[in-house]
């Protein structure tokens, strides 16, 4: 028996990184997944890998309410219901507070914060109709503590934690549990220059990106007690816990997964 037998989960940002890892693990655990993203070729490849009886890909721009409705409709049409949501899609921008253009700030808010809000707004009533289920929102380590150059990103991730708590209170009586994950540095194309260069998404030469990756790994090795960045598969296992009955009495909580980064400052 898989931990998600009989479950149907919609995952945003599922074409690569954490979202793709979550889709693969959820399918392995017996769930059926609808993968949403704007990276259509990559998303289709992941869905094809999992097979038509387990997965479907849909184009999903999380900023657009109509896209969310279409994705939820696809889940119900193809698999009969939708009783889970992973709000994974997000973007990261580094900039000093005073140097951050308003357009850049709003772009991050639109994807990270509004996208999460629209996902919950659209899916919560459908999950309730399906007999209850789970929502897992992807926040960040930066939602809980400060980090320079992340004003826009940290603001949106802190908002996700706040929305998670409110939604959990509103939806608990309707059979819907809502929790948040707060990853630290995870080795994905969003944070790893070499991965982004290999996919052709960064505009950075691969040799330059590899050098940047080495510097990034050394940087995090000094900050993180476990001495390394996390892996998408590790975040996926937390998402699985929060989406299955193992966490049946857990709702409204932010779960940090950061290799000990938030524990304090190392002087060793």
- Place 81 in a pLDDT band, splitting at 50, 70 and 90: very high
For the cut 80, the answer to whether the pLDDT of residue 209 exceeds it is no
Sign of the dihedral through C-alpha 211, 233, 128, 254: negative
| Predicted confidence (pLDDT) per residue in 123-158, tens digit | 999 999 999 999 999 999 999 999 999 999 999 999
Per-residue tokens: 228? 């390394």
Domain coordinates of the chain in residue numbers?
A: 8-186+231-256, 192-228
Q: Which CATH number fits domain 8-186+231-256: 3.40.50.300, 3.30.70.2860, 3.40.50.720, 3.90.76.10?
A: 3.40.50.720
pLDDT at 200: 45
Are 154 and 142 contacting, i.e. CB atoms less than 8 angstroms apart?
yes
Rounded Cα gap, residues 64 and 198, in angstroms: 29
Q: What's the pLDDT score for residue 189?
A: 87
Q: What is the average per-residue pLDDT within 15-27? A: 98
In the annotation, is 153 catalytic? Answer: yes
Per annotation, catalytic residue among 57, 141, 153, 220? 153
DSSP structure string for 132-184: -EEEEEE--GGGTS--TTBHHHHHHHHHHHHHHHHHHHHHGGGTEEEEEEEE-
pLDDT class for 40, splitting at 50, 70, 90?
Answer: very high
161-to-87, 136, 178 alpha-carbon distances in Å: 12, 11, 10
pLDDT at 32 over 90: yes
pTM: predicted TM-score of the whole model, two decimal places: 0.92
User: 87 by DSSP, 3-state: which?
Assistant: strand
Helix axes 115-129, 151-171, angle to 10 degrees: 20
């Amino acid at each position: 028996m898989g931990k998600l037998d009989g479950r149907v989960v919609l995952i945003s940002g599922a074409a690569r990184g954490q979202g793709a890892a979550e889709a693969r693990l959820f399918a392995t655990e017996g769930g059926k997944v609808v993968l949403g993203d704007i990276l259509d070729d990559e998303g289709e490849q992941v869905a094809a890998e999992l097979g038509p009886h387990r997965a479907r890909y849909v184009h999903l721009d999380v900023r657009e309410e109509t896209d969310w409705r279409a994705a939820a409709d696809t889940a119900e049409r193809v698999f009969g219901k939708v009783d889970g949501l992973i709000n994974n899609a997000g973007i990261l921008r580094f900039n000093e507070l005073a140097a951050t253009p308003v357009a850049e700030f709003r772009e991050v808010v639109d994807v990270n914060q509004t996208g999460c809000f629209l996902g919950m707004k659209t899916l919560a009533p459908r999950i309730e109709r399906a007999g209850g289920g789970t929502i897992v929102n992807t926040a960040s380590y930066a939602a809980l503590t400060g980090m320079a150059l992340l004003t826009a990103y940290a603001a949106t991730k802190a908002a996700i934690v706040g929305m998670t708590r409110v939604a959990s209170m509103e939806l608990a009586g309707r059979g819907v549990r809502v929790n948040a994950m707060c990853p630290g540095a995870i080795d994905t194309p969003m944070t790893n220059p070499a991965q982004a260069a290999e996919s052709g998404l960064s505009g950075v030469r691969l040799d330059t990106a590899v050098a940047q990756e080495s510097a990034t790994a050394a940087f995090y090795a000094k900050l993180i007690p476990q001495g390394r960045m996390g892996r998408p598969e590790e975040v996926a296992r937390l998402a699985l816990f929060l989406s299955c009955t193992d966490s049946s009495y857990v709702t409204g909580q932010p779960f940090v997964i950061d290799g000990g980064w938030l524990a304090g400052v190392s002087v060793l």
